[in-house]
Every structure is written in structure tokens, then in C-alpha cells.
Chains A and B, each alone.
Chain A
């Protein structure tokens, strides 16, 4: 609950920053918002609508009250409301990010657990080297390499666009790999930590088979840092989505934002940035709630009762 209250000033700050994007651009904000090819009359109209001749606090008040009515302005490029554009694109970004997180969790945790239980095996070495490369490889390059291999040379999967499930595989894999690498490293070290604990030795000495010890006793406690990292990684994932969406022509928010920056379509840029930041803040909030749920002290208490 306290965290919920703390995120309110953050959201206000984010809105101020997004509001100022246009005001910071050298030159006339009205021209920036009306678009490069706007007529003098149109620019004058925008100037009046935004109250640009009034003080900044008045402008911000107008911006915010429009925002709460769902009015994010109008694209200077397509002339459509920004809110509509965002509503069309946002589900695609969510689908891509969630799919990438699923890939990252499945690949990362599997590799991490196997590495920890077979420490110093060939699998352990190769997966940890793979993880090092996965973190260092630029996500857009990985995407292009996957396109080259799976679309151009093997012809197994489409190289871009959206539609069927097959279109989702390469982008999700690309976006998920770096996070998978990180999750693998964290899972491995966290599992190794837990496996050294006294209660694991106790469980073993009770004669429990190794698999039960690994999955029932160790994994549950090893997961806490993993969940934290997953939450923190969602931001990196959203940032990476901007790049991956560009590589695979995926019609999401990130690509919309980049296209709008290049086209100087500032109302859309503001909307997209605001949406991505708010999403990120809300995800972090959710992670905190989940984390409180998994809190080591709480689970420690229940274990003693068992």
C-alpha cells in the first residue's frame, strides 16, 4: 500500500517530463506539435489550444486534464487521435514482451537449474559461456542473425510482420535471450547458494532422493532472487522491444515511437513514451507485491510450522 502511494509522485514526475519533451525542443513548440508541414493558421490554432502564451503551470494543467479525459492530442502524420494509435499498437507490444518473458524464464531457469545440479559439467560450462554471449550480444543483431538463419537460409519461419503464431517465434526468442542469459546466471548461483544450506544437508541425510531435494526444497527458496531479477528485467525487455519491433516489423508501441521520432510526430512520441513508462512503473509495483508474497521471512516461518 505504501508502495502504491510512492508511485503517484513518480507518475506525476513522468508526466511532467513527457510534457516537457516538446517544450525542450529548440524552436517553437506549436510548430513541433502541429507538424513540419503545418500551415501558419494551423500553428496559430495549436498555439491557442495549448495556451502556449500562458504560464507553464497553466499549460501543464491543460495537458493533464486532457490526459485524464483520454485526449493525448492528434498525430501530425496520420491526423488520427494519438490514443487510438496507442490502443491499436499496445496489445502487440504486450504480446511480444510476455512471450519473450516466457521464453526467458523457460530457457533461463532450465539452464540455470541443470547447471547448478551438474556443476562444472560440460553442460554447465557451455551454458554459462552461452549466457555471457547472450548478455553481450546486441539484441538487434541477434534478431537479424535469426532472420538470416531461420528465414532466409532455412526458410522455416517468416522474417517479419505479425499474424500467426509463427510470426511471434523469432521476435520472442530474440527479445527473450538476453533475459534468459541473466536468469540462467542468477538461478545457477542462487541454487548453488541454497544447496549449501544446512536444511538441504538435513533433507539429504533424511534419505530423500536428490530430485526431491532439488525441486521441492531447494528450488522454492532459490526462486526469490530470480523473481526479483525477472521484475527488474521487464524494463530492459520493454526497452529491447523497441529494437526488436524494428527488426521484425512488429507493429508495437516501440516501433511507433521510433517512427514518430524520425517523422517529428511529437504528440505520438509523447503518448508512446508516457505509455511505456507508466507500464513499467505498474509492472514494478506488481513485482513488489509478488516479492512481499514470497518474502523469505514469511516462507521461513511457514517452513518451521511444517
Chain B
């Protein structure tokens, strides 16, 4: 461990300036900043939900069912008299958790597999690529649906399902970056110095693959949130009484003629959160790409 730190002594300085460049560029990007603000608001809502609303997201009051938005109930009430605003606030916890955790699962499995595949090549690589081909043969959300069909419904299984469904994306991405980075001179130098494969991958190759991984993860969180909401909508995701946005929308659909606020607002919440991640992702992609950084 200690000599890892020694060999990396000159690294932090260079990386800090690089980081600063990226930050400066990102800060100038108005769309990305707007995305960041949206995400900050959602994060704030998720963390401080109990302070922002006096209502319990699962507390029913049948005498006040299906009320239109008013001063008392900002976004109205649902068919069981639950406050829609409170449910959306608490729902942001579920959506953010699903987005972050499922992407973490996808990354934790997909990135090492991609790195090993790209670095060693050979039979393992060939084998991995065929497996990935098979997983990619399931279009979009379908793989997540198939996994949920096996595991069963519920928020935890949705995280696992969406996480597994995002593994192929990381494996492909990282394998590609590793393939190009491993031809660099400093990797040959590290090899010549007799460093172990693991250290070369972790210390010298991966830091140079981080850009695309960060950008992809930002978009992937957005996709994960959309998929999870879709699963919730189909009745395959979070189960009642969880205030999950997709499930709320699905229930509210039955009252569309009398109380469309039950579907309009949860949908808007999903849209805004996904938009926030997409805007930030666009900004990060531009900021991390030296070519577009100079051309602007």
C-alpha cells in the first residue's frame, strides 16, 4: 500500500489542474449548471422530505380522497386521500436510490469485467464478448423485465435487475477504452519496470478511462430511473404503499377523468429528474473532451 502512494506522488498535482479545467468549463455551461441545480433540488427534497411536508406519504384519509390541488394539499390528494406532494417528495428518495445503487451495481461488475477483457484479450475476452452480445440482444428495458420476472417485484429486486441490465454497457465501454489506453507508452514503461498487471490496470490504465465512465454513468442513472419507473408502472417494480413515481402514475391513471393531477405530477417529477441527469451528462461530456473544450 505504502509504495503505491510513493509511486503516485506526482499524480495528484497534474490531476488537480485537469480537474480544475473541467470544472471551469462545466461552470461556463449554462445547461449543465441548470441540470446540476435541478439535481440539487431533488437531493434536498429527498434528504429533507419530512421537514418539507407535514403529511405522511402513506397516511390515508378516505374522507379527503381525490381532492384537487389546493393551499392545504399543494398537488391534491390521491384515491386514498394521501397527499400527492408528500408522496412525490418521498418518492424522490426511491428514484434516486434506485438510480444510484443500480448504476453502482452495473459499474462494480461491468467495469472490472471490461478492464480484464480489454487488458488480457484472448479467450476470456472472446468469451465475455459473446456473453455481452447475448445480454445486449434484449432490447432496452426488456432485460430488466426478464430479471424481475425471475427475482420477483419490489424495490430491491428492481435495483438488482436494472443494475444487471446496465452491466453490458460498462463492459463494452471500458473494454474499448482499455484497448486504446494499453497501447500508450507509459503502460509499456510500467510493464518494463516489472509492475504487476493488477497495479498497471488500477494505477495506470483505469485513471485514463475515467472520463467516459463518469459521463456514461450520469446518463445511465437517468436511464435507470426511467426503467425503474417503467417497471413500477407495469406493476413489476415498487409495490404499494411505496410512493414510487411510476407506480403512482399507474394507479392514478384510473382516475384520469376526475383527477389528472395523480398522473401529471409524478410524471413531471420523473421528467425533471431525468432531464437534470441528462443535462449534466451532456455538460460533462463536453467538459471532459479536450477537443470540444478548445473549440468553444
Which residues of chain A in 254-299 are interfacial with respect to chain B, using CB atoms and an 8 Å cutoff?
Answer: 257-258, 261-262, 269, 273, 276-277, 280-281
With contact pairs A144-B263, A235-B139 given, residues A137 and B271 touching in the complex (Cβ less than 8 Å): yes
Which residues of chain B in 243-289 are interfacial with respect to chain A, using CB atoms and an 8 Å cutoff?
Answer: 246, 249-250, 253, 256-257, 260, 263-264, 266-267, 270-272, 274-275, 278-279
**Surface stretch bound by B, among A68-76, A83-91, A239-247:** A239-247
Q: Which of A9, A10, A138, A247 has the most chain B CB atoms inside 10 A of its CB?
A: A138
Q: Which residues of A contact B275 (CB under 8 A)?
A: 132-133, 136
Q: Which residue of the partner chain A has the closest CB to B142?
A: A239
Q: Is B145 an interface residue (CB 8 A)?
A: yes
Contact partner, A144, options B133, B148, B150, B249, Cβ 8 Å = B249
SS class, residues of chain B in contact with chain A: helix
Q: Which residue of the partner chain B has the closest CB to A152?
A: B257
Q: Is A192 an interface residue (CB 8 A)?
A: no
Q: Which residues of A contact B134 (CB under 8 A)?
A: 10, 13-14, 17
Which residues of chain B in 123-178 are interfacial with respect to chain A, using CB atoms and an 8 Å cutoff?
Answer: 130-131, 133-134, 137-142, 145-146, 148-150
Q: How far is the CB of B229 from chain A (nearest CB, A)?
A: 5
Contact check, B233 vs A132: say whether CB atoms are below 8 A apart: no
Q: Which residues of B contact A21 (CB under 8 A)?
A: 146, 149-150
Q: How far is the CB of B264 from chain A (nearest CB, A)?
A: 7
Q: How far, in whole Å, are A304 and B250 apart by their CA atoms in the complex? A: 57
Contact check, A261 vs B145: say whether CB atoms are below 8 A apart: yes
Q: Is A140 an interface residue (CB 8 A)?
A: yes
Q: Which residues of B contact A273 (CB under 8 A)?
A: 138, 142, 146
Q: Is A212 an interface residue (CB 8 A)?
A: no
Contact check, B137 vs A243: say whether CB atoms are below 8 A apart: no
Q: How far, in whole Å, are A257 and B149 apart by their CA atoms in the complex? A: 10
Q: How far, in whole Å, are A11 and B137 apart by their CA atoms in the complex? A: 8
Q: How far is the CB of A289 from chain B (nearest CB, A)?
A: 17
Q: How far, in whole Å, are A13 and B138 apart by their CA atoms in the complex? A: 11
Contact check, B234 vs A242: say whether CB atoms are below 8 A apart: yes
Q: Is A147 an interface residue (CB 8 A)?
A: yes
Q: How far is the CB of A250 from chain B (nearest CB, A)?
A: 14
Q: How far, in whole Å, are A247 and B263 apart by their CA atoms in the complex? A: 12
Contact check, B150 vs A242: say whether CB atoms are below 8 A apart: no
Q: Which residues of B contact A136 (CB under 8 A)?
A: 222, 271-272, 274-275, 278
Contact check, B263 vs A242: say whether CB atoms are below 8 A apart: no
Q: How far is the CB of A130 from chain B (nearest CB, A)?
A: 12
Q: Which residues of B contact A58 (CB under 8 A)?
A: none
Contact check, A239 vs B271: say whether CB atoms are below 8 A apart: no
How big is chain B's contact interface, by range?
A: 35 or more
Contact check, A242 vs B253: say whether CB atoms are below 8 A apart: no
Q: How far, in whole Å, are A246 and B249 apart by their CA atoms in the complex? A: 13
Q: How far is the CB of B74 from chain A (nearest CB, A)?
A: 20
Q: Is A25 an interface residue (CB 8 A)?
A: yes
Q: Is B107 an interface residue (CB 8 A)?
A: no
Q: Which residues of A contact B145 (CB under 8 A)?
A: 242, 257-258, 261
Q: How far, in whole Å, are A145 and B263 apart by their CA atoms in the complex? A: 8
Q: Is B103 an interface residue (CB 8 A)?
A: no
Contact check, B142 vs A238: say whether CB atoms are below 8 A apart: yes
Q: Which residue of the partner chain B has the closest CB to A241?
A: B139
Contact check, B140 vs A240: say whether CB atoms are below 8 A apart: yes
Contact partner, B137, options A148, A234, A281, Cβ 8 Å = A281
With contact pairs A14-B134, A24-B150, A246-B233 given, residues A235 and B140 touching in the complex (Cβ less than 8 Å): yes
Chosen A-B contacts, 12 in total, with CB atoms closer than 8 Å, are: A13-B130, A21-B150, A136-B222, A138-B274, A145-B264, A148-B263, A242-B142, A247-B253, A258-B234, A261-B148, A261-B149, A276-B142
Across the A-B interface, the 5 shortest Cβ-Cβ residue pairs: A239-B140, A141-B267, A235-B139, A13-B134, A136-B275
Chain B interface residues (CB < 8 Å from chain A): 130-131, 133-134, 137-142, 145-146, 148-150, 222, 226, 229-230, 233-236, 246, 249-250, 253, 256-257, 260, 263-264, 266-267, 270-272, 274-275, 278-279
